[in-house]
């Protein structure tokens, strides 16, 4: 008898719980956000809220809101750094010394005044933690002659510094409080700094918001900083939620005061007739490119310059743009269209199958077969690398080149790419900072150049141009030099720039200022209603 | 007690075996955790790579890493996650309750509906009700869960507005102070009824989606198990005594049919606890499934090990509970 009644009791109890849950659910979202809450939907790559350790898209959004930087950009602009914590700055004529004068009215969220000591601590901490963003200040020494002056001294000419400084990873922390919680800026900080856990619970910055709650997997809640020195943000509370793109597409159509920033161009196209939403699609800063390895030990085929030209002419660039959807453009060079030194559409590579076949014949290689490596599980801006790779395979097949697709999951494909062992590779470069110096990596002997088997000394004239461009202090001259570099890359280099995919930002009607910026994606403090 | 002791010993041995296999497999994967976790610039900086390897102990030979892991494991330290920068134990304490809340709700729904519909289907064998229920249960088993999740979200959230969207709570609603990690329970314990309502509203749809497969499965198993015993002599004798049919079915038929249902139910629960990644992804539910997926894609060895151990423990505990339940519902097993 008892044995029978137990399951029955379980069933009855379960029924009661289920009914209670259903009844509770029938309220249908009674706690929907009120008007002072801004909701940002983002597929998280979040690791930390510690500004000196974060270098992910999600982390950049959070750090931008919590911490102020010496310089910043306005809205979607990334060409003109403007003062923020600094009242002004000067650069030496050799672009090795940059002097920043600080404002005196800036306070951290606990009321402490921000001084040059906090800047020095934050920057040295970034350098000595040896984390993802540490390279931003590589070769730079930070000093403070007085409480309101900070001097950055570079071992080599570095005109990109004003473009690097606005990065949220260079957000200034309250040095006294962070030190008190295990932070250090001394050499060895990679082992001895223990402040990350603290900074994941409490923000110690002077930005427009303070941290209310932080989770790397569900959501980050921010609340307005009453001590903020700038204009009070419109939204008192910001909730940044970890939501995948398909769900963002549904959520944004029901939301209010909401921004979605991971929708693909195709997904955004389904919203075009929705009058309650604003859809902005513009060329994003990521450059997708193909490489042919120049190292004869990796392939006897791909270093052949005629073979490389055959690839260049066989790619149907317009079809890649079409595949990428709204906002996408063909990229004429490796520097994206919104940065100094970008090429114009007049420099676009042209699809010409006849020329491709002629170049292949001139290469002296008959029926070539090569392997194409790519991250098979990776999708960015709604574009799957597997789909792109199939398109490359079809294009090259039409010219007489057989391509074996040898894609693998990104964690393993990256190893081959970074080791420079791919015959052909399909990859992207995202900007670390909005300056063409970040694209010198494509030159011989540099980071990406080596991945394409392009060793130092392979093209002395191009390398000399790179040295000249990286040290020039005149931005106009730098722009021309980078254009010259890219034109030469397009004729002599082993790289084939394909597209800049569109960057889509969707906001509900009434939300203003939801502008995409390559350095921090979205500035939630800039959003209005 | 001997039975319990054997089970616990098996748990320890299996746990060690799982950690060993996970270690070896992770080493065999032709990827590099540093490459998977460091950015495009940092990976080119030998100092940054060295700092990463030293921090996570990857600079030591694999056997040394494994021995160190076991040493730490003995003191309850599961290591630090490379993706979240937090102790794996802290991560698990956050993600496991999220999945458990979803899984328990889902399995309760599945048991109530699956067993009820299975009995109904068996009692009305080959009639219209039975045929309809068989088709529905087949649908529940056959439908891909990610598709069902998207459709359910579209219909019940977007079109009808009966339930809120994704996540565990409405935007801006903070969970009650952590006691169990189950938001509904913690909210009730803290007396925060508004948080409870929000958590329950967010829970119901993903739980129902997750339950769909198991409702179908349990309906079919229950029907089959009930049909096996429904015409046995002792059942006929009960009917001949004049017992109401409801009593006959619930007291005599269902009791005899329960062991196979418990077996399937136990496995279903273990599957739900460890296989929710798609539902968690679509409903933005920060559970163990998403954590496992991200760990695997970033070669986050400590997290992979932690999740593997968790999965092993779930299956062992569920099997243990199922064995105990056999004895409860079937005296012959209890005596044996």
Contacts 24+ apart (CB under 8 A), B25-29: B26/B299, B26/B301, B26/B304, B27/B62, B29/A411, B29/A412, B29/B299
Tell me which residue has tokens 């030990």: A297
Cα–Cα distance for residue pair A46/B282, rounded to 1 Å: 18
With cut-offs at 50, 70 and 90, classify the pLDDT of residue A409: confident
Across chain A, mean pLDDT equals: 91
Q: Could you tell me which residue, B261 or A183, shows the higher pLDDT? A: A183
Residue percentage of chain B with pLDDT more than 70: 98
SS3 A269: helix
Name the residue facing A411 among B36, B41, B254 (closest C-beta). B36
Q: List the beta bridge partners of residue A528.
A: A512
Cβ contact A4–B297 (<8 Å): no
Strands (E), B210-292: none
392-431 in A: which are within 8 Å (CB) of B? 409-412, 414-415, 418, 429-430
Query: With 50 as the cut, is the pLDDT of residue A11 above it?
Result: no
* Token code pair at residue A295: 């190292």
Indicate which of A217, A246, A406, A413 best probes the interface with B, i.e. most B CBs within 10 Å of its own CB. A217
Measured in angstroms, the CA of A500 and the nearest CA of chain B are apart by 18
Measured in angstroms, the CA of A215 and the nearest CA of chain B are apart by 9
Contacts of residue B164 in chain A, CB cutoff 8 Å? 28-29, 31-32
SS3 A91: strand
What is the phi/psi pair of residue B89, to 5°? -60, -40
Cβ proximity of A4 and A204 under 8 Å: no
pLDDT for the residue A216? 85
pLDDT for the residue B62? 85
Cα–Cα distance for residue pair A14/A24, rounded to 1 Å: 15
A277-281, A456-460, B290-294: segment of lowest average pLDDT: B290-294
Contacts of residue B40 in chain A, CB cutoff 8 Å? 429-430, 432, 447
pLDDT for the residue A33? 41
194-233 in A: which are within 8 Å (CB) of B? 196-197, 200, 212-213, 215-219, 221
Cβ contact A239–B172 (<8 Å): yes
Query: What is the average pLDDT across B324-330?
Result: 79
Measured in angstroms, the CA of B284 and the nearest CA of chain A are apart by 5
Name the residue facing A14 among B112, B166, B291 (closest C-beta). B112
Reference A139, options B43, B47, B39, B54; nearest CA is B47
Indicate which of B113, B165, B206 best probes the interface with A, i.e. most A CBs within 10 Å of its own CB. B165
What pLDDT digit, counting tens, does each position of A294-314 carry?
Answer: 999 999 999 999 999 999 999
Query: With 90 as the cut, is the pLDDT of residue B293 above it?
Result: no
pLDDT for the residue A256? 86
Q: Could you tell me which residue, B52 or A71, shows the higher pLDDT? A: A71
2-61 in A: which are within 8 Å (CB) of B? 3-4, 6-8, 10-11, 14-15, 17-18, 20-22, 24-34, 37, 39, 47-48, 53, 55
pLDDT for the residue A61? 97
Out of A23-27, A199-203, B175-179, the most confident range is A199-203
Cα–Cα distance for residue pair B84/B82, rounded to 1 Å: 6
Query: With 70 as the cut, is the pLDDT of residue A34 above it?
Result: no
Measured in angstroms, the CA of B59 and the nearest CA of chain A are apart by 14
With cut-offs at 50, 70 and 90, classify the pLDDT of residue B333: low
With cut-offs at 50, 70 and 90, classify the pLDDT of residue A154: very high
Cα–Cα distance for residue pair B132/B135, rounded to 1 Å: 5
Contacts of residue B38 in chain A, CB cutoff 8 Å? 132
Query: With 90 as the cut, is the pLDDT of residue A389 above it?
Result: yes
Query: With 50 as the cut, is the pLDDT of residue B107 above it?
Result: yes
Query: With 60 as the cut, is the pLDDT of residue A22 above it?
Result: no
With cut-offs at 50, 70 and 90, classify the pLDDT of residue A92: very high
Residue percentage of chain A with pLDDT more than 70: 93
pLDDT for the residue B335? 52
Cβ proximity of A173 and A118 under 8 Å: yes
Whole-structure pTM value: 0.84
CB burial class (10 A; 0-12, 13-18, 19+) of residue A231? exposed
What pLDDT digit, counting tens, does each position of A37-61 carry?
Answer: 999 999 888 889 999 999 999 999 9
Query: With 90 as the cut, is the pLDDT of residue B56 above it?
Result: no
pLDDT for the residue A54? 94
Cα–Cα distance for residue pair B200/B186, rounded to 1 Å: 12
Q: Could you tell me which residue, A203 or A247, shows the higher pLDDT? A: A203
Nearest CA in chain B to A223: B172
Query: What is the average pLDDT across B101-106?
Result: 95
With cut-offs at 50, 70 and 90, classify the pLDDT of residue A21: very low
With cut-offs at 50, 70 and 90, classify the pLDDT of residue B43: confident
Cβ proximity of A469 and A436 under 8 Å: yes
Residue pairs between chains A and B whose CB atoms are closer than 8 Å = 217
Cβ contact A3–B255 (<8 Å): yes
Cβ contact B286–A247 (<8 Å): no
Measured in angstroms, the CA of A428 and the nearest CA of chain B are apart by 10
Cβ contact B83–A216 (<8 Å): yes
With cut-offs at 50, 70 and 90, classify the pLDDT of residue B255: confident
A103-112, A203-212, B136-145: segment of lowest average pLDDT: B136-145
Q: What is the CB neighbour count within 10 angstroms for residue A489?
A: 24
Q: Which residues contact A215 (CB under 8 A, 6 or more apart)?
A: A242, B94, B286
- Displacement of CA B125 from its chain's centroid (Å): 32
Contacts of residue A44 in chain B, CB cutoff 8 Å? none
Cβ contact A241–B162 (<8 Å): no
Name the residue facing B170 among A33, A216, A429 (closest C-beta). A33
Crossing angle of the two packed helices B145-152 and B193-229, in degrees rounded to 10:
130
Cβ contact A25–B200 (<8 Å): yes
With cut-offs at 50, 70 and 90, classify the pLDDT of residue B324: confident
Contacts of residue A58 in chain B, CB cutoff 8 Å? none
pLDDT for the residue A31? 40
pLDDT for the residue A110? 94
Name the residue facing B48 among A130, A217, A415 (closest C-beta). A130
Backbone region of residue A367 per phi and psi (left: phi > 0; alpha: psi in -120 to 50; beta: other values): left
What pLDDT digit, counting tens, does each position of B194-244 carry?
Answer: 999 999 999 999 999 999 999 999 999 999 999 998 888 988 898 888 888
Measured in angstroms, the CA of B12 and the nearest CA of chain A are apart by 30
Cβ contact B161–A28 (<8 Å): yes
Across chain B, mean pLDDT equals: 88
Name the residue facing A14 among B111, B162, B201 (closest C-beta). B111
pLDDT for the residue B134? 93
Cβ contact A134–B250 (<8 Å): no
* Token code pair at residue A308: 């490389």
Query: With 80 as the cut, is the pLDDT of residue B267 above it?
Result: yes
Contacts 24+ apart (CB under 8 A), B64-71: B65/B23, B66/B19, B66/B20, B66/B23, B69/B19, B69/B23, B69/B302, B69/B305, B70/B16, B70/B19
Residue percentage of chain B with pLDDT more than 90: 38
* Token code pair at residue B165: 């969207």
Name the residue facing B284 among A11, A134, A247 (closest C-beta). A247
SS3 A43: coil
Query: What is the average pLDDT across A104-132?
Result: 96
Query: With 50 as the cut, is the pLDDT of residue A12 above it?
Result: no
pLDDT for the residue A35? 52
């Amino acid at each position: 008898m008892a044995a029978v009644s137990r399951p029955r009791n379980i069933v009855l109890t379960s029924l009661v719980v289920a009914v209670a849950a259903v009844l509770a659910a029938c309220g249908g979202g009674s706690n929907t956000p009120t008007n002072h809450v801004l909701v940002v939907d983002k597929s998280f790559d979040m690791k930390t809220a510690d500004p000196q350790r974060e270098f992910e898209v999600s982390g950049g959004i959070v750090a931008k809101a919590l911490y102020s930087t010496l310089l910043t950009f306005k809205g979607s602009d990334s060409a003109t750094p403007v003062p923020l914590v600094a009242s002004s700055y000067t650069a030496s004529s050799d672009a090795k010394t940059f002097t920043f004068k600080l404002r005196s009215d800036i306070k951290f969220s606990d009321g402490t005044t921000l001084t040059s000591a906090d800047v020095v601590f934050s920057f040295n901490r970034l350098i000595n933690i040896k984390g993802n963003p540490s390279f931003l200040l590589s070769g730079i020494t930070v000093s403070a002659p007085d409480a309101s002056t900070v001097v950055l001294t570079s071992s080599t000419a570095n005109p990109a510094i004003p473009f690097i400084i606005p990065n949220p990873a260079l957000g200034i922390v309250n040095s006294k409080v962070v030190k008190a919680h295990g932070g250090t800026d001394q050499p060895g900080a990679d082992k001895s700094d223990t402040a990350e856990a603290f900074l994941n619970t409490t923000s110690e910055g002077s930005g427009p918001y303070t941290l209310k709650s932080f989770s790397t997997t569900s959501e980050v809640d921010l609340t307005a900083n009453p001590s903020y020195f700038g204009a009070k943000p419109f939204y008192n509370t910001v909730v940044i939620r970890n939501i995948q793109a398909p769900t963002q597409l549904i959520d944004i159509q029901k939301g209010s005061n909401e921004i979605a920033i991971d929708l693909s161009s195709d997904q955004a196209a389904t919203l075009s007739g929705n009058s309650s939403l604003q859809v902005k699609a513009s060329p994003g800063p990521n450059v997708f490119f193909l490489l042919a390895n120049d190292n004869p030990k990796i392939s006897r085929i791909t270093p052949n310059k005629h073979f490389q030209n055959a690839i260049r002419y066989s790619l149907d660039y317009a079809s890649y743009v079409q595949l990428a959807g709204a906002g996408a453009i063909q990229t004429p060079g490796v520097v994206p269209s919104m940065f100094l030194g970008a090429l114009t559409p007049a420099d676009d590579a042209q699809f010409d199958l006849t020329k491709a076949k002629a170049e292949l014949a001139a290469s002296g290689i008959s029926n070539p077969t090569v392997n194409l490596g790519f991250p098979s599980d990776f999708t960015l801006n709604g574009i799957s690398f597997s789909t792109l790779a199939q398109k490359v395979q079809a294009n090259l097949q039409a010219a007489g080149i057989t391509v074996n697709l040898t894609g693998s999951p990104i964690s393993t494909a990256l190893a081959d790419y970074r080791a420079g062992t791919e015959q052909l590779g399909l990859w992207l470069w995202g900007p670390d900072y909005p300056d063409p110096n970040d694209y010198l990596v494509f030159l011989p002997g540099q980071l990406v150049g080596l991945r394409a088997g392009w060793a130092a000394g392979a093209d002395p004239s191009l390398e000399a141009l790179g040295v000249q461009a990286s040290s020039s202090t005149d931005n106009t001259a730098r722009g021309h030099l980078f254009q010259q570099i890219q034109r030469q890359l397009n004729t002599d280099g082993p790289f084939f720039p394909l597209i800049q995919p569109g960057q889509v930002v969707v906001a509900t009607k009434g939300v203003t200022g939801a502008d995409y910026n390559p350095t921090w994606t979205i500035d939630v403090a800039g959003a209005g209603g | 007690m001997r039975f319990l002791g054997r089970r616990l010993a098996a748990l320890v041995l299996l746990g060690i075996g799982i950690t060993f296999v996970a270690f070896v497999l992770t080493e065999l994967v032709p990827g590099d955790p540093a490459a998977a976790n460091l950015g495009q610039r940092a990976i080119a900086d030998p100092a940054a790579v060295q700092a990463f390897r030293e921090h996570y102990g990857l600079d030591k030979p694999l056997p040394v890493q494994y021995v160190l892991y076991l040493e730490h494991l003995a003191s309850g330290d599961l290591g630090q996650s490379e993706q979240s920068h937090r102790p794996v134990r802290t991560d698990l304490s956050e993600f496991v309750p999220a999945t458990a809340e979803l899984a328990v709700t889902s399995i309760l729904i599945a048991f109530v509906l699956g067993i009820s519909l299975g009995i109904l289907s068996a009692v009305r064998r080959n009639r219209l009700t039975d045929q309809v229920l068989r088709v529905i249960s087949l649908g529940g088993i056959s439908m891909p869960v990610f598709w069902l999740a998207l459709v359910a979200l579209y219909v019940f959230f977007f079109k009808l507005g009966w339930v809120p969207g994704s996540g565990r709570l409405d935007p801006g609603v903070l969970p009650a102070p952590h006691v169990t990690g189950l938001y509904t329970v913690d909210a009730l314990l803290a007396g925060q009824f508004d948080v409870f309502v929000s958590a329950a509203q967010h829970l119901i749809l993903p739980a129902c989606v997750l339950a769909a497969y198991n409702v179908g499965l349990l309906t079919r198993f229950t029907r089959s198990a009930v049909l096996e015993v429904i015409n046995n002599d002792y059942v006929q004798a009960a009917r001949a005594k004049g017992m109401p049919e409801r009593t006959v079915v619930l007291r005599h038929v269902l009791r005899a049919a329960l062991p196979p249902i418990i077996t399937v139910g136990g496995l279903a629960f273990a599957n739900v606890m460890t296989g929710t990644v798609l539902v968690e992804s679509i409903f933005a539910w920060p559970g163990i499934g998403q954590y496992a997926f991200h760990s695997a894609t970033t070669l986050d060895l400590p997290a992979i090990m932690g999740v593997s151990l968790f999965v092993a423990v779930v299956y062992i505990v569920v099997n243990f509970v199922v064995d105990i339940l056999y004895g409860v519902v079937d005296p012959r097993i209890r005596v044996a």
